[in-house]
Amino acid sequence: MAKLYFKYGAMGSSKTAQALITKYNYEENDMRVWLIKPATDSRDGVSLVRSRIGLEAEAETMSPEADLFALFQARNADVVIVDECQFLPPEQIDQLRQIVDVLNIPVLCFGLRTDFQTKLFPGSRRLFELADSIQEIKTICDCGSKATVNARVDSDGYVITEGAQVVLGGNDRYVAMCHRCWQKAIMEHKKVKLHRH
């Protein structure tokens, strides 16, 4: 029986790398993968998924209005892999659930749980409600504790707590931190170290 999977982690936890490795593993077993990403994620161009460690693959970009269930039916695929799933609207998460339930096709979603204000993204919230399997991909804060916060940092290195929910960026804009260090950086108005590679 196929399942809907949600694999989430903070920034820098290797979510995209794991999505691409999963794609490779399915293809090694002669299975066809439909790799998709939301149009919101335009960092690596329209049709590319790229991890920080250099893995990349062609992907199909989905607008928020796209009907994923209808689009999938026109594809010849054995599995669906979604990168940056937090940016999908809840309706598209419902469509992914429909692919699992009606067509018995596994759907693996990789993304963030919360934004820079520690609030759930709408797509992530819906996945927590619907997924059969929920797995955290762990990463660590500079202090050694588990990182759970995607801290947004301004150009001077200070943690910011106001602004739009979605501001694209990587190591130049976000730092994965534990909640304690995030709170401390805000309260003490302390600069944080960006991990530029």
Catalytic residues, by residue number, are: 84
Q: How far is 20 from 27, CA to CA, in rounded Å?
A: 11
Query: Do the bridges between strand 33-38 and strand 79-83 make them parallel or antiparallel, or are there none, so unpaired?
Result: parallel
Q: What is the dihedral of CA 37, 38, 40, 45, to 10 degrees?
A: 30
β-strand partners of 83? 110
| SS3 label, residue 104 | coil
Taking residue 125's Cβ as centre, other Cβ atoms within 10 Å add up to: 16
| SS3 label, residue 44 | coil
* DSSP-assigned letter for residue 48: E
> What value does the CA radius of gyration of the chain take, rounded to a whole number of Å?
17
Q: How far is 171 from 45, CA to CA, in rounded Å?
A: 17
